[in-house]
A and B are shown apart, each in its own frame.
Chain A
Amino acid sequence: MKRILTAIAGVLALTAIALLSPAYAQSKGKIYYMVPTLLDEFQTESVSALTKFLADVGYEVVTLNADNKTDVQQSQMNDTITLKPAAIVLAAVDFNALQPSIEKARAAGIPVMQFDRQITATMSDFTSVAGTVEIGYVAAGEIQRLLKEKNGDVKGKVLQVLGDPADPYTLDIQKGFEEKMKEFAGVQIISLPAMAWEASNAGTIVSDQLVANPDIDLIFVHAAHLAVAAVASLEAKGKKPGDVMLVSSNGAPVGLDLIRKGWEQVEVEQPLYAQAAAIAMFADKVVNKQEIKPGTYTVLGLESTVTIEKWGPNIKIPGAAITKDNIDEPRFWGNLKAPTDKIMPVE
């Protein structure tokens, strides 16, 4: 009995320590950030960026992690609505399933801003995206260039390694990529998903395909952490940097390392810092329910366009292709040099 009580006391003490956090002085209120998962570097860094940038404009950020579970994120939204925060920033696990939660929050007078993942089926107060379909477009453009450089024409065999097939993010990239590649009949695309975005699954796909299709020219993986496993498989098959070209998306630090080592040719980055900065720049307008005017805005040096869509004000920030020529530019979040300049709200 004594042992059990000691164990319970220990667990409770640890829980209490974990829950204790310093009380921040509130100025303009709390904004809840619904992060879909903390198991990838983009999302982890988005927490840091949003916390820093929203603090610049006077808000305290509370982050809730949904562990990639739609039902968990729905519950978090319901709980948060009862707390009446100044606003909610949502990076939805599932674009469709969160629609009722967004409507419920807005009906309760809580503005909802979409971060990174665009929801077009319902109104939101602000959306900040790079555009996942557009990432596919950028990747397609770069892959066409690489194939032409290697084969003299846009032709060859491409292995496309998707993320989890239940994640709309990867499906959108695939859609954009295949749409732009459709016109090139000489390109054969083999598409396979890495279940749960798990790296060793991607490695397995690459290993198998290298044996079955030794003439693969290029591998396109939908996240940089999958590229690491792909490179490990290439290495295990005796390949050297450049033997099989590699393109990845999201711009994580691991992808940039692979470019520096020569294994990867292009990383299509999501402009994480600019996407987060845009949320902070427009936060006052959203919270105070002021009009957001369409037009061109400069977000961390990137020319970005605000349009008024049927789902609300939408800022689209251009993604960029990172190559060995521009890799060291600090604007790429994969270099993990978050801008130190204070973000200023849009007047």
Chain B
Amino acid sequence: MMSSRQRALIEFVLDNLVWFLLAFVLAIFSLAIPNFFQIGIFANIIEQSTFVGVMAIGLAIVIIAGHMDLSVESVAALTAMVTGILFCTHGIGLGYTLSPEWLIVPVSLLLAIAVGGAIGAINGWLVVRLQMNAFIVTLAAYIWVRGLVVAISGGRSAQGLPPSLRFIGIDTVAYIPLIAWIAIACFALFTFIMAKTPFGRHITMIGGNAVATFRAGIKVDKLVVFSFVLAGAIAGVAGWLLAIRTSGATANLGTGMLFNAFAAVVIGGVSLKGGVGRLPGVYAGVLLLSSIHTAINLMGLPAHFTQMILGGLVLVAVLLDTVKLSIRQKLA
């Protein structure tokens, strides 16, 4: 017979399995790879997790709500390009300035959120009002939004963001770059929202059983549309950060991030069936992926290994999820 303390311990381990996995992987890399164990590398891992991490927040929310959003990568590319075109001083940048200069931070951020939110609203409207399949709607958006990026840029790039915006990509606080702190703040905010507010609880309930949630008097349609708007707006923030990090935007910026975001969400324990998942796990998933990317960079392995390891990790994550489920059933 298992004591309640043992049961609680097992529950804790199961809930935070991905964090233990991350600690294990970091320990192995630190021991095995020369130059890995140093503060600069850990800061790099956290910094590199920023874009995929922020993107994964919105993706996770939509998936927890029982839907799918494949457009987040293209939305991020679009907001990066909009930021680049408006505020960059070289290439196709128009070099708009604001007075006082610091206004560029909130204005560009709000613009990115608005552009991303608008794409999310279109997706949400098509899914909820026209009852179209979210996979197809957002796949279409993935394609047309990237096309829009090429169209508005003409395939050219914008570069040279002003220092009043670039400082976010350069300055550090406690060794960690400011952009990474923004990502951490986003995770903290949305973890709170998903765990402690009626909105978060309702989204989880919808993903678990939309019909029962509707019968409980909750406005399912409205919340689903809002989850898409949120995913778009958060992807907009990811694009804004990406533009700041690379000091501009190219038409192919962010290519491949969608699959990393998906991998992080799955590794982080979010069920693709909806109704299950916590954002801290997703952040651990993103950190795990970044650690592997960094390790491969330092080892000088061909990049193809990253993709093989990534694919393997997703499989392991799904297997672990099955194991977790069966252990929980035994505990119940």
Residues of A within 8 A of B (CB): 3-4, 7, 37-41, 43-44, 165, 190-193, 195-201, 203-205, 207-209, 211-213, 225, 228-229, 231-232, 235-236, 252-254, 257
Contact of B41 among A201, A211, A231 (CB under 8 A): A211
Contact of B254 among A165, A198, A203 (CB under 8 A): A198
Asked whether B253 lies within 8 Å of A199 as measured between CB atoms, the reply is yes
Task: Kindly list the 4 A-B residue pairs having the minimum CB-CB distance in the complex, ordered from nearest.
Answer: A44-B155, A211-B40, A39-B252, A212-B35
Asked whether A200 lies within 8 Å of B91 as measured between CB atoms, the reply is no
Q: Which of A3, A196, A197, A231 has the most CB of B within 10 A?
A: A196
Q: Nearest B residue to A44 by beta-carbon distance?
A: B155
Quote the shortest CB–CB distance from B134 to chain A (angstroms): 16
Q: Does B247 contact A (CB under 8 A)?
A: yes
Q: Nearest B residue to A253 by beta-carbon distance?
A: B91
Q: Does B213 contact A (CB under 8 A)?
A: no
Chain B hits for A40, CB < 8 A: 155, 250-252
Quote the shortest CB–CB distance from A302 to chain B (angstroms): 24
Q: Nearest B residue to A165 by beta-carbon distance?
A: B303
Alpha-carbon separation in the docked complex, A192 to B304 (Å)? 11
**A-B contacts, 16 listed (Cβ < 8 Å):** A196-B256, A200-B51, A204-B48, A204-B293, A205-B297, A208-B298, A211-B40, A212-B34, A225-B157, A228-B159, A229-B245, A232-B169, A232-B246, A235-B170, A236-B170, A257-B90
Asked whether B297 lies within 8 Å of A228 as measured between CB atoms, the reply is no
Alpha-carbon separation in the docked complex, A192 to B297 (Å)? 7
Q: Nearest A residue to B172 by beta-carbon distance?
A: A236
Q: Does B255 contact A (CB under 8 A)?
A: yes
Contact of B157 among A209, A213, A228, A231 (CB under 8 A): A228
Chain B hits for A165, CB < 8 A: 302-304
Q: Does B242 contact A (CB under 8 A)?
A: yes
**Those of B140-172 within 8 Å (CB) of chain A:** 150, 154-157, 159-160, 166, 169-170
Chain B hits for A207, CB < 8 A: 44, 47-48
Chain A hits for B302, CB < 8 A: 165, 193
Q: Does B99 contact A (CB under 8 A)?
A: no
Q: Does B53 contact A (CB under 8 A)?
A: no
Alpha-carbon separation in the docked complex, A197 to B155 (Å)? 14
Chain A hits for B298, CB < 8 A: 208-209, 212
Chain A hits for B248, CB < 8 A: 228, 254
Q: Nearest A residue to B90 by beta-carbon distance?
A: A257
Alpha-carbon separation in the docked complex, A203 to B255 (Å)? 14
Contact of B247 among A3, A208, A231 (CB under 8 A): A231
Chain B hits for A229, CB < 8 A: 245-247
Asked whether B294 lies within 8 Å of A208 as measured between CB atoms, the reply is yes
Asked whether A41 lies within 8 Å of B156 as measured between CB atoms, the reply is yes
Q: Nearest A residue to B38 by beta-carbon distance?
A: A211
Contacts beyond the supplied A200-B242, A228-B159: 19 A-B pairs with Cβ under 8 Å: A7-B126, A39-B255, A40-B250, A41-B157, A44-B156, A192-B300, A195-B303, A195-B306, A196-B256, A198-B256, A200-B246, A204-B293, A209-B297, A212-B34, A229-B245, A229-B246, A236-B169, A236-B245, A252-B157
Chain A hits for B156, CB < 8 A: 41, 44, 253
Q: Nearest B residue to A200 by beta-carbon distance?
A: B246
Chain A hits for B246, CB < 8 A: 199-200, 203, 228-229, 232
**Those of B47-97 within 8 Å (CB) of chain A:** 47-48, 51, 90-91
Q: Nearest B residue to A38 by beta-carbon distance?
A: B155
Chain B hits for A235, CB < 8 A: 166, 169-170, 247
Q: Which of B91, B155, B248 has the most CB of A within 10 A?
A: B155
Knowing A205-B297, A209-B297, say if A43 contacts B155 (CB, 8 Å).
Answer: yes
Contact of A225 among B170, B250, B306 (CB under 8 A): B250
Asked whether B170 lies within 8 Å of A204 as measured between CB atoms, the reply is no
Alpha-carbon separation in the docked complex, A232 to B40 (Å)? 16
Q: Does B5 contact A (CB under 8 A)?
A: no
Q: Does B330 contact A (CB under 8 A)?
A: no
Asked whether A39 lies within 8 Å of B251 as measured between CB atoms, the reply is yes
Quote the shortest CB–CB distance from A72 to chain B (angstroms): 13
Q: Which of B36, B130, B157 has the most CB of A within 10 A?
A: B157
Chain A hits for B300, CB < 8 A: 190-192
Quote the shortest CB–CB distance from A18 to chain B (angstroms): 10
Q: Does B129 contact A (CB under 8 A)?
A: yes
**Those of B249-267 within 8 Å (CB) of chain A:** 250-256
Chain A hits for B285, CB < 8 A: none
Alpha-carbon separation in the docked complex, A40 to B250 (Å)? 8
Asked whether B169 lies within 8 Å of A39 as measured between CB atoms, the reply is no
Alpha-carbon separation in the docked complex, A208 to B303 (Å)? 14
Alpha-carbon separation in the docked complex, A219 to B47 (Å)? 21
Q: Nearest B residue to A48 by beta-carbon distance?
A: B154
Asked whether B297 lies within 8 Å of A196 as measured between CB atoms, the reply is no
Q: Nearest A residue to B41 by beta-carbon distance?
A: A211
Chain A hits for B280, CB < 8 A: none
Quote the shortest CB–CB distance from B146 to chain A (angstroms): 9
Q: What mask results when residues 164 to 194 of chain B are scored 1 for a CB within 8 Å of chain A, else 0?
A: 0010011000000100000000000000000
Knowing A204-B293, A208-B41, say if A3 contacts B129 (CB, 8 Å).
Answer: yes
Chain B hits for A44, CB < 8 A: 154-156
Asked whether B247 lies within 8 Å of A232 as measured between CB atoms, the reply is yes
Chain A hits for B126, CB < 8 A: 7
